Structure 1
Amino acid sequence: MDQLIDFTSSLPGALQWLGVMLIGAIPFVESYLGSAIGVVVGIPAPIAILAAIVGNAVCMLVLVLLADAGRRKAVGARGARGTTDAEDPERAETRSRKKEKVKRAFDRFGVPGVSLLGQWLLPSQITSAMMVGFGASRNAVIGWQIVGITLWGVGFGTLAALGVNMLR
């Protein structure tokens, strides 16, 4: 965390928002910590929050589009072999525990629930790509992830701003 703060602080004042945008694209940092780092560095809260949200959203969007293209290609290849889109039981056994948690949450709460709460399990970039891999609508995932990324970024950025103001 200190390295990310130092990185952003080392940039010229007019470019610190760009540093926050880059930080927001990092999985496990995302919009929520990116916005807080921006506020701590001294960037006005609305700019820090917006930069972190944009960085997180752009990274998520790229990964969702790649996952969607990969899924379409895989489904097309299976269809050409005459197999169904049903999941292969052998493949299911090899899933990681984190992926299983996301799948269970996806089955229970759908795209909105995983998009809004999934960041407790894994970064939005990873959960969004997984949901598309599970067969969720690419556009629904993108829309709900943007809502989740925005809510988390605004929430943490606001808390950071309140904390910084209390220390002054």
Structure 2
Amino acid sequence: MFRQLVQEIVGYLSELNLLLQYLGTFLISFIPFVESLGGSMIGSLIGIPIILAVIISIFGNWISIMSIIVLFNTLQRKIHNRDSKKGFVHNRTLKARELYDKYGVPGLALIAPLIASGHIAAFTSLALGVNKKRVVYWHIISIVLWGIIGGALGGYLNNDIIK
């Protein structure tokens, strides 16, 4: 089923003009669970040069995750200014933060694309009170790493999946 879906996406994007292929690769990398890994892999499978597919996917995934970080940070400031350190929610946040401290931002950012989504990992990190700069830093590393892996994987599988 997954192979068929990838073949359909690759087949559809392959028929588009070059600009739309770039745009499609960019937009695919916005999607949670697909991200830079899937975007760069599909981009390289449709014939976009691997380095360019990786760059396009990294940029698309970066924009989508940074949007979540900025929106969450704005919302968090509004909520915090309204009502801080009260009751059940505050106690749950402290307990969640203790568990999160065991694994840290690096572990969550780097592993999330395999088991969940970088979007969810960024949201979770911020919800637990991690410094925004630290979340951004580790998610940029994760996006770049997974984008490169996806591009390499797409280049390697190029002949196998399309045929």
TM-score calculated relative to the size of structure 2: 0.82
Q: Pairwise mapping of residues 7-86 of structure 1 onto structure 2 (< 5 A)?
A: 7-79=12-84, 83=86
Deviation at 1:17, TM superposition (A): 1.4
Matched, 1:162 2:133: no
Task: Return the offset for 1:5.
Answer: 2.5
Preserved CA contact (<8 Å) 2:35 2:113: no
Structure 1: runs of 5+ lacking an equivalent: 93-99
Residues 56-101 of structure 1 show CA distances to partners (whole Å, capped at 9, x for unaligned) of 110000001111111111111113xx73897244x89xxxxxxx7x
Q: Which residue of 2 aligns with 1:151?
A: 145
Determine whether 1:134 maps to 2:139: no
Residue 142 (structure 1) shift: 0.9
Aligned 8 A contact 2:10 2:42 in 1: yes
Structure 2 stretches lacking a partner, 5+ long: none
Q: Provide the rounded CA distance (Å) in 1 between the counterparts of 2:16 and 2:132.
A: 36
Measured on the aligned residues, the alpha-carbon RMSD in Å equals: 2.8
C-alpha separation in 2, matches of 1:83 and 1:34: 42
Structure 1 runs of 4+ aligned residues shifted over 4 Å read: 165-168
Q: Distance in 1 between matches of 2:72 and 2:156?
A: 38
Match of 2:90 in 1: 87
Structure with larger RCO (C-alpha < 8 A, sep 6+): 2
Q: How many residues align?
A: 156
User: Contact (CA 8 Å) 1:28, 1:123: kept in 2 or not?
Assistant: yes
